[in-house]
Amino acid sequence: MQNLLQFIRTNFHIFLFLILQGISLFALIRFNSYHQSVFFSTSSTVNGNILTQRKNIINYFSLKSENQKLKEENILLRTRGTENYIFVSKDTVAVKDSNQLLQYSYIPAKVIYNNIRKEKNYFTLDRGANAGVKKGMGVISPLGVAGKIVDVSDHFSVAMSLLNSEFILTPKINGKIRYGNVTWNGKDESLVQITNVSDHYEVKVGHEVTTTEFGHYFPSNIKIGNIKTATKSEGGKYWDIDVEIAANMSQLSEVYIIKNHFQSEFSTLEEKYIDGN
């Protein structure tokens, strides 16, 4: 206590100055409309900046939960699409009694390794067999096709990238043409090619390229990209087509693994007719 009193006595003049300065500022602001407006404007700006920074900090730490909510909402929206259902009739005559069975569902995953610089590129995901992932499942980003699962462990999986010279996919062009193969020539990571499309089909720059249900890896109408160039081949029988990829393959982060609930049934049924030939 004595130390406190001694400190006050020693610094009395400083405390008196601060008190008088505070009274002067209060009087200046209280009885002068211009200074009053400047003070409140400045304080509002400072408070606003403080609140903005506080909000940014809160938002940063809540990003993970918000991101999870968005994933769940995206999965729900995707699952509601008619392309995810298969229509099975109960009766060969009573067509109106048809049921919708869910064919495709989605497993959210994060890309933890990605390569686009080689001829045969792959990326690794943080979901594996424990999450229901199996070989042969398609992988998409929020923007479009990304790849296909080729190897699985308990907690992780590896996908063959769309930017892989061995990746082959049957496309649909402009919602109509279901011929040719989507492949990558190993040159430009923003472009894939479509081969074996006959020149008697109408193909134009800007046409949308999407998936078909062929192969059972993807539902129909998942975007692959848009045609950037389309020229006739030397012989004039086929189109040489470059497609600008919808997904940004160099920045893959949040993806969805597609689970076909009828994959085993399709594989068992088709094996002796397709793989056996």
Residues 49 and 133 in one domain: no
Q: What mean pLDDT is reported for the chain? A: 78
91 Cβ contact list (under 8 Å, min separation 6) = 97
Give the pLDDT band (50/70/90) at residue 54: low
Whether the per-residue pLDDT at 84 is higher than 60: the answer is no
Last residue of a domain, one of 58, 74, 89: 58
Residues 130 and 257 in one domain: yes
CB atoms inside a 10 Å sphere around CB 203: 19
> Which of these, 37, 267, 224, 232, lies nearest to 134 by C-alpha position?
267
Per-residue pLDDT at 25:
65
233 Cβ contact list (under 8 Å, min separation 6) = 199, 239, 240
Tell me how many domains the chain contains: 2
**Sheet strands (E) in the chain:** 85-88, 99-102, 104-114, 120-125, 138-140, 145-152, 157-164, 171-173, 181-183, 191-195, 208-211, 223-232, 239-245, 254-260
Per-residue pLDDT at 240:
92
Per-residue pLDDT at 102:
80
16 Cβ contact list (under 8 Å, min separation 6) = none
pTM over 0.85: no
Last residue of a domain, one of 41, 58, 75: 58
Dist. CA 267–CA 264, nearest whole Å: 5
CATH code, 205: 2.40.10.340
Domain that holds residue 47: 2-58
- 95 in a domain, yes or no? no
Beta-sheet pairing, 208-211 with 157-164: unpaired
